[in-house]
Amino acid sequence: MADAPRRSNRKPKPTQREPPPAAENVPLKRKAKEDVDPAEQLHFLLQNSKSRLTKMNISDLINANSWNILSPDSQSRLAAFLPSTAFRSFQPTLGSDHPAAGDLMTVDSSESGPIDTSLFTDAHFLAAARTFQDHLYSNWLSDAHAEKVSKYTQGIQDGSLAAPWKDEVWERDNQTEEATMPNAANSHSSSMLAGEASELKLGDLAKNSVLREGDVLAYKRNFTNLNTFVEKDVIVQRIDPRNHSLTVLVEPGTTRDLPAHLLMPGPSGPSAPTRTMTIASPTQLESGLLDIDGRVERTKRPNGNAWKALTLWRWNGDALGTDGGRRGGREDHGTLFYLRACHYQDR
C-alpha cells in the first residue's frame, strides 16, 4: 500500500484555450439605388401636391443666376413662353400720329434678343410664380384634376352638366322658413319676394311692348334633386291683340335650339316637327316646356319662380346681329323677373 500513488487535493490549473480565429471583416453590401425615371421625377415635381416646390421660396429656384446656368437651347425654348416686355429690346409701339413714334423701335417677334433679368424680381412675375405654387399645393395640376375639368367642360358643352346659377346658390344657402313650407305658402312667399311688381302679369308686359313678336325666350333650370338640367328656347310667333296671350314655337323632345329659319326676320310658318304653344304666364310656359322635354315628372317638379328661369333675347334696336349665332344674333336683355321690375319702376 505504501507504493500507491498519492492523490492531490489541489485543483488542476485551467488550461488556456486558444482564442477563436478572428472573423474576417466582410463589408456590408448596400442596396443599389433604383434608377429614377427623369420623366417621372419631373412629373412629380410639377404636378404632385407633395412636391418640394410647394415649400420653398420660389425665388431661390427661378432667378437670374439659374437662368444663366441654362444652355442657350434651353433658354431659347423657355423664352418662347415670355411676353415681349421681358426682352431688353422691347419698346412700346405707339400710333403713327404720336410725336414720339419715330424715336421708338418695334420688336421683331422672331428675334427678341436677350431677356431682361429684372423680370425675375418683377412683382407680377413673382405673383404668378406663387400662384403656380398655390395651384400645385391644391392639387389643381394633377392628372386627376385635369380629368375632372375635362369631364366637366365636356358636360357643359353637351348639356349633361351645368353650373348652378347665382340665384339658385343663394336661395339654397339662404333658405327661409317660408321656402320649406307647402306650395301654397311658398307661392305666397315668392309673391312677397317679388315685391309690388308681382301685380304685373305676362300680358301686361306684352301689352306694353316689353315682350314683342320675334323675341326668343330661353328657359333654363337645374333640377338638383334629379341631377337634371333642362334648357329650351322658344320664339314668340304671335301676340293676341285682345288678351295679349303669347303663341310660341318650340322644338320637340330635349332639343334645345330653334331651327335657323325660325330665327330670321319674317320667318315662314312652322313645319313639323316644330310645335306651337299658347301661354298666358311664365309658369304655364315652364310647365309646357317640361312636358315636352319629358325628363322631369310633374310630381317631382319643385315649386319655383318661372319668371327667373326665362331670359329674353332680342335684336339690338333695328340692327340685326351680323354673326348669326345660336339665337340669330339676338342679345341678352335679362330675365323676365328683371324686366318686370324695370317696367314697374318706369311706368
- pLDDT per residue over 166-176, tens digit each? 666 666 666 54
Highest mean pLDDT among 74-78, 102-106, 314-318 belongs to 74-78
Contacts of residue 90, Cβ cutoff 8 Å, sequence gap at least 6 = 84, 107, 112, 116
pLDDT at 293 over 90: yes
Q: Cα–Cα distance between 347 and 46 in angstroms, integer?
A: 60
Please give the pLDDT value at position 20: 62
Average pLDDT over residues 229-248: 93
Residue keyed to cell 426682352: 87
Please give the pLDDT value at position 98: 56
Please give the pLDDT value at position 128: 92
Question: Hey, which residues does 234 pair with through a beta bridge?
Answer: 217
Q: Cα–Cα distance between 143 and 110 in angstroms, integer?
A: 33
Residue 40 burial by Cβ neighbours in a 10 Å radius (0-12, 13-18, 19+): exposed
Question: Hey, which residues does 228 pair with through a beta bridge?
Answer: 223
Decide if 219 contacts 286 (C-beta within 8 A).
yes
pLDDT at 210 over 80: yes
Candidate from 30-34, 157-161, 258-262, 341-345 with smallest mean pLDDT: 30-34
pLDDT at 211 over 90: yes
* Helix or strand (DSSP H, E) at 146: helix 143-158
Give the CA angle between residues 57, 128, 80 to the nearest 5°.
110
pTM of the model: 0.47
Please give the pLDDT value at position 218: 95
Contacts of range 87-96, beta carbons closer than 8 Å, 24 or more positions apart:
87/112, 87/113, 87/114, 87/115, 87/116, 88/113, 88/114, 88/115, 88/116, 89/113, 90/116
Please give the pLDDT value at position 179: 43
CA 219 to chain CA centroid, Å, is: 22
Please give the pLDDT value at position 347: 77
* pLDDT interval class at 320 (50, 70, 90): low
* Better pLDDT: 177 or 142: 142
Decide if 285 contacts 277 (C-beta within 8 A).
yes
* pLDDT interval class at 153 (50, 70, 90): confident
Contacts of residue 321, Cβ cutoff 8 Å, sequence gap at least 6 = 315, 328, 329, 330, 331
The pLDDT tens digits of the residues spanning 3-61 come to 655 655 666 666 666 666 665 666 666 655 667 788 888 899 999 999 999 999 999 99
pLDDT at 323 over 60: no
C-alpha cell at position 301:
317638379
Please give the pLDDT value at position 154: 84
pLDDT at 181 over 50: no
Q: Cα–Cα distance between 115 and 16 in angstroms, integer?
A: 84
pLDDT at 267 over 70: no
Phi, psi of 239 (to 5 degrees): -115, 120
Please say whether the dihedral angle defined by the alpha carbons of residues 168, 173, 179 and 180, taken in this order, is positive or negative.
positive
**216 vs 16, 328, 335, CA distance in Å?**
114, 10, 12
Highest mean pLDDT among 94-108, 113-127, 159-173, 175-189 belongs to 113-127
